Chain A
Amino acid sequence: MAGQDFPSFVGIRDMAERHRELISRRGRPVVGWFCSYTPLEIIDAAGLHPYRIVPEPGRAMTRADSYIDRNYCPYVRTILGEAMDGAYDFMDGLVVLNSCDPMRRLYDVWRYNLAGKFIHLLDLPRIETESAVAYYRECLLGLVAALEDRFRVTISDAALAQAIADRNRTRSLLRELYIANRESGHLPAAQLHGVVRASTLLPRDDFALVLERLLDEVKGAPVEFKEGPRLLITGSIMDNPQIVEFIEECDARVVGDDLCNGTRQFWYEIGPDTDPLAALSRHYLGRTPCPRMKDAQRRFDHVLRMVDDFRADGVVFYTLKFCDPFLFDVPLLKEQLEQRGIPSLLLEGDYTPGTLGRVRTRIEAFIEMLRQDVRTA
């Protein structure tokens, strides 16, 4: 496959595999996070290392059975199962956002069963009015105070401004990488996914270095697109990159995504403001919305724009089971896509590797249908 022998991608993959070691070499306390609304800049500015917890599929799921209902967001269940197995003992703290019902229960059940660790719940408004921005700024201040207190650090405005500038750089590079790859088709989507994943694990400066090199290479690559339908994925968490790989094995291309652990993390940069916390508040409430926000149409518009920008022929909805915010969006977004002649397919994942087998035939049928559409178009 193209890109497989990409030196820089391999570099990122190796680093991602060695992430624990790299983090420990830096000697910074590690703070785990879950939701893409987490203001990483504050954790950076505190001199801590933010680390996104996204377990591999299939691990520790049954372990969660005694701690939380079975009919529950499998992301949350897997995390709890792994936590009970001690997989996150190496972390020094956690920041949980009040993003959805399962997230706030993750916070509760974790604390009940694993007391002792620093764990902060950060509230998160669902609207983006001026008063919500002001309220959220207060909540961010609460996080600042809690981190300062627990880790005996001072989070200065200057450090926040620096962290914002650094993260903005990563954001824009990642975005550029997506756009460059959209043109060249050089990196398979699963590898692109791996790069984004690495950005949430690795020490920031290590990552930035390789990312820049990778970007140069992708930009310079010849156009390598195969024929076949172009797909955009929108969804909650992509637990299993093999799904993306499989789609590409069926001779379709996943050209872009709107995923919680994809572009939603970085697509827009943080705007300037003399007050860095206000800048963060405004940014996070106003960025590409997740389905949990009130203004779903803003999200739909974003997806429709991405369909245009990435010249997608079809859309795959990929949601983890029991993700209410996403499930309620499906009928509306599906209809809006249909009105533009864009077919869509709903796939549900349950955080087990077995998902793949079940969705295989549906993906094949969808791609076959698109291929006929593309041919007759």
Chain B
Amino acid sequence: MLGLLKAAFHPAVAHRVLRRPLTYELLGRLGKNAYSRQNKRAQGIWFDFTSREMKAALRRENLVVWANAFFPFELLHALGVSPVHPETIAALAARLGLSRQAISCAEAGGYSPDTCSFYRCATGLNMENLLPPPDLVISASYLCDGAVKFFHNIARYYGCDYFLLDVPYHDTENARKYLAGQLEELAGIIAARQGKRFNPDRLVEALELSNQARDYFVRTNELRRASPSPLSGDDAISYVLDMQFFGPGSRAGADFFKALYEEVKTNVDSGQGPVAPEKLRLLWLHYIRPYYPNEVLSYLEEAGASICFGEANYVYWEPLDVAKPFESLAARVLANPSGGPLERRADLALELAEKYRVDGVIHFSHWGCRQSCGGEYVIRDLMKKKGVPMLILDGDGADSRNYSREQTRLRLEAFLEMLEANK
């Protein structure tokens, strides 16, 4: 499917095609069918969902709201806005080979090559007028400083309002109250912009859908303890992650995680998986991986090493309490182990390494991602104390200029050899 997309989106024609709502309508249908025929119903749902959102935003069917990946999307689904999530679009652009040009464009506009390439890419795509203009821009102030700044600059570019959800560091009573208050205020702001009153019933509905998705996701994650690993790392840190960010609170989100659960269950029941025989099991640390054409994951899988789990897919939040919608969304946000002190992330990594019985850990050290790179040595040391080897793999998620095939291969090769010898 992506091959087809790629052919259609040769950079030369991309400009014209990418801005047409019809493109996404068509793609959505094609994709859904194609994936379902390959027994990839979940991926089909994702494809349809993402295309429909792009189409809605381009048609300006409702208030167009840009928001970052760590914002609780339940609220946006409850309000029925048309969300745009630039970080995913940047990852998709990288997959389609469109990121280089976009990144150069951003750099020519004064954006430093030292900043996160997802934001540089999204900035460039925006400068090239490839993205649906926002009516309102929202960002949660975590996981990184880049989010706060990138979304601000987008709002300035369009002269529209910017709402920053200021996420506290500690998870305390006060912090929850402060955060819940901001979410409630934002609900009022968006509803007013839509010319209607905020309808709490819709939020309850969204929370219920989110809980349904969560429930299937937790069960899927339990199934992922099986060997051979029943879900490919590639899928898990691409469209599954997307749905985890943007799906909760929508019908598609609930359907997606049910379908995913069923697919994974079928694999576990039949003892199948993407990597067979599975010689080594790996844990992936970071929310991202390289998305442009590269060999990192395929090399590992071909060598018999499965990425059996990634910290990104961990369900860190409790079921949402529909009686206290804003408070429980606030609690969900504050529960993210990548926020607050590093112990939270490190403890989780150790726990996952044990739970998924991994032979080794790869920390993807994405260029420009300060929040994650800053803690990698500490985590590596902790892993070492537990006897789990960890590789810090330098690289870049969206900027292929920072990818060296040979060097990456050498490092992975050496790491796998070491793991084999350890066994």
The interface residues of chain A lying within 8 Å CB-to-CB of B152 are: 294, 296, 328
Q: In the complex the two chains form, what is the Cα distance from A105 to B346 in whole Å?
A: 13
Q: Are A324 and B146 in contact (CB under 8 A)?
A: yes
Q: In the complex the two chains form, what is the Cα distance from A41 to B136 in whole Å?
A: 39
Interface centre among B109, B148, B178, B370 (most CB of A within 10 A): B370
Q: Which of B169-222 contact A (CB under 8 A)?
A: 169-170, 174-175, 178, 181-182
Among the stretches B19-27, B80-88, B253-261, B373-381, the one at the interface with A is B373-381
Let me know if B3 is at the binding interface, CB within 8 A. Answer: no
Chain A residue with the shortest CB-CB distance to B116: A324
The interface residues of chain A lying within 8 Å CB-to-CB of B343 are: 108
Minimum distance in angstroms from A351 CB to a CB of chain B: 15
Let me know if B144 is at the binding interface, CB within 8 A. Answer: yes
Q: Are B111 and A331 in contact (CB under 8 A)?
A: yes
Let me know if B112 is at the binding interface, CB within 8 A. Answer: yes
Q: Which of A67-90 contact B (CB under 8 A)?
A: 67-69, 71-73
Let me know if A104 is at the binding interface, CB within 8 A. Answer: yes
Among the stretches B160-168, B229-237, B278-286, B296-304, the one at the interface with A is B160-168
Interface centre among B164, B168, B175, B182 (most CB of A within 10 A): B168
Q: Are B148 and A126 in contact (CB under 8 A)?
A: yes
Let me know if B419 is at the binding interface, CB within 8 A. Answer: no
Return the CB mask of A279-323 against B: 1 if under 8 Å, else 0.
000000000000110101100000000000000000000000110
Q: In the complex the two chains form, what is the Cα distance from A216 to B144 in whole Å?
A: 46
Q: Which of A110-147 contact B (CB under 8 A)?
A: 112, 121, 123, 125-127, 131-132, 134-135, 138
Minimum distance in angstroms from A376 CB to a CB of chain B: 26
The interface residues of chain A lying within 8 Å CB-to-CB of B36 are: none
In the complex, which range does the number of interface residues on chain B fall in?
A: 35 or more
Let me know if A343 is at the binding interface, CB within 8 A. Answer: no
Return the CB mask of B374-404 against A: 1 if under 8 Å, else 0.
1111100100000000000000000000000
Let me know if B313 is at the binding interface, CB within 8 A. Answer: no
Q: Are A101 and B367 in contact (CB under 8 A)?
A: no
Chain B residue with the shortest CB-CB distance to A98: B169
The interface residues of chain B lying within 8 Å CB-to-CB of A107 are: 341
Q: Are A294 and B148 in contact (CB under 8 A)?
A: yes
Q: Are A294 and B373 in contact (CB under 8 A)?
A: no
Which residue of the partner chain, among B110, B145, B156, B168, contacts A101 with CB atoms under 8 Å?
B145
Which residue of the partner chain, among A102, A125, A131, A330, contacts B370 with CB atoms under 8 Å?
A102
Q: Are B378 and A332 in contact (CB under 8 A)?
A: no
The interface residues of chain B lying within 8 Å CB-to-CB of A29 are: none
Q: Are B178 and A131 in contact (CB under 8 A)?
A: yes
The interface residues of chain B lying within 8 Å CB-to-CB of A73 are: 370
Minimum distance in angstroms from B114 CB to a CB of chain A: 5
Let me know if A371 is at the binding interface, CB within 8 A. Answer: no
Which residue of the partner chain, among B144, B162, B375, contacts A109 with CB atoms under 8 Å?
B375
Q: Are B166 and A127 in contact (CB under 8 A)?
A: yes
Chain B residue with the shortest CB-CB distance to A297: B156
Minimum distance in angstroms from A143 CB to a CB of chain B: 12
Let me know if B342 is at the binding interface, CB within 8 A. Answer: yes
Let me know if B153 is at the binding interface, CB within 8 A. Answer: yes
Which residue of the partner chain, among B153, B156, B170, B178, contacts A132 with CB atoms under 8 Å?
B178
Q: Are B149 and A325 in contact (CB under 8 A)?
A: yes
In the complex, which range does the number of interface residues on chain A fall in?
A: 35 or more
The interface residues of chain A lying within 8 Å CB-to-CB of B149 are: 291, 296, 324-325, 328-329
The interface residues of chain B lying within 8 Å CB-to-CB of A291 are: 149
Q: Are A324 and B153 in contact (CB under 8 A)?
A: no
Chain A residue with the shortest CB-CB distance to B369: A101
Q: In the complex the two chains form, what is the Cα distance from A201 to B149 in whole Å?
A: 32
Minimum distance in angstroms from A301 CB to a CB of chain B: 13
Let me know if B115 is at the binding interface, CB within 8 A. Answer: yes
The interface residues of chain A lying within 8 Å CB-to-CB of B376 are: 69
Q: In the complex the two chains form, what is the Cα distance from A173 to B337 in whole Å?
A: 45
Q: In the complex the two chains form, what is the Cα distance from A104 to B167 in whole Å?
A: 14
Minimum distance in angstroms from B183 CB to a CB of chain A: 12
Q: Are A332 and B156 in contact (CB under 8 A)?
A: yes
The interface residues of chain B lying within 8 Å CB-to-CB of A72 are: 370, 373-374
Let me know if B371 is at the binding interface, CB within 8 A. Answer: yes
Return the CB mask of A204-233 against B: 1 if under 8 Å, else 0.
000000000000000000000000000000
Let me know if B306 is at the binding interface, CB within 8 A. Answer: no
Interface centre among A107, A296, A327, A334 (most CB of B within 10 A): A327
Q: Are A321 and B169 in contact (CB under 8 A)?
A: no
Q: In the complex the two chains form, what is the Cα distance from A334 to B342 in whole Å?
A: 35
Q: In the complex the two chains form, what is the Cα distance from A71 to B375 in whole Å?
A: 13
Q: Which of B123-148 contact A (CB under 8 A)?
A: 141, 144-146, 148
Interface centre among A67, A69, A73, A331 (most CB of B within 10 A): A69
Chain B residue with the shortest CB-CB distance to A66: B377
Give B contacts to A, CB under 8 Å. Answer: 109-112, 114-116, 141, 144-146, 148-150, 152-153, 156, 162, 164, 166, 168-170, 174-175, 178, 181-182, 341-343, 365, 367-368, 370-371, 373-378, 381
Listed by A's residue number, 28 A-B pairs whose Cβ atoms lie within 8 Å are A69-B376, A71-B373, A72-B373, A102-B370, A104-B169, A105-B342, A105-B370, A105-B374, A105-B375, A108-B343, A108-B374, A108-B375, A112-B381, A121-B341, A135-B168, A294-B141, A294-B166, A322-B370, A324-B115, A324-B144, A324-B149, A324-B370, A325-B148, A328-B111, A328-B152, A330-B112, A331-B109, A332-B153
Give A contacts to B, CB under 8 Å. Answer: 66-69, 71-73, 98, 100-102, 104-109, 112, 121, 123, 125-127, 131-132, 134-135, 138, 291-292, 294, 296-297, 321-322, 324-325, 327-332, 334
5 shortest interchain CB distances as A-B pairs: A105-B374, A331-B110, A328-B149, A108-B342, A101-B370
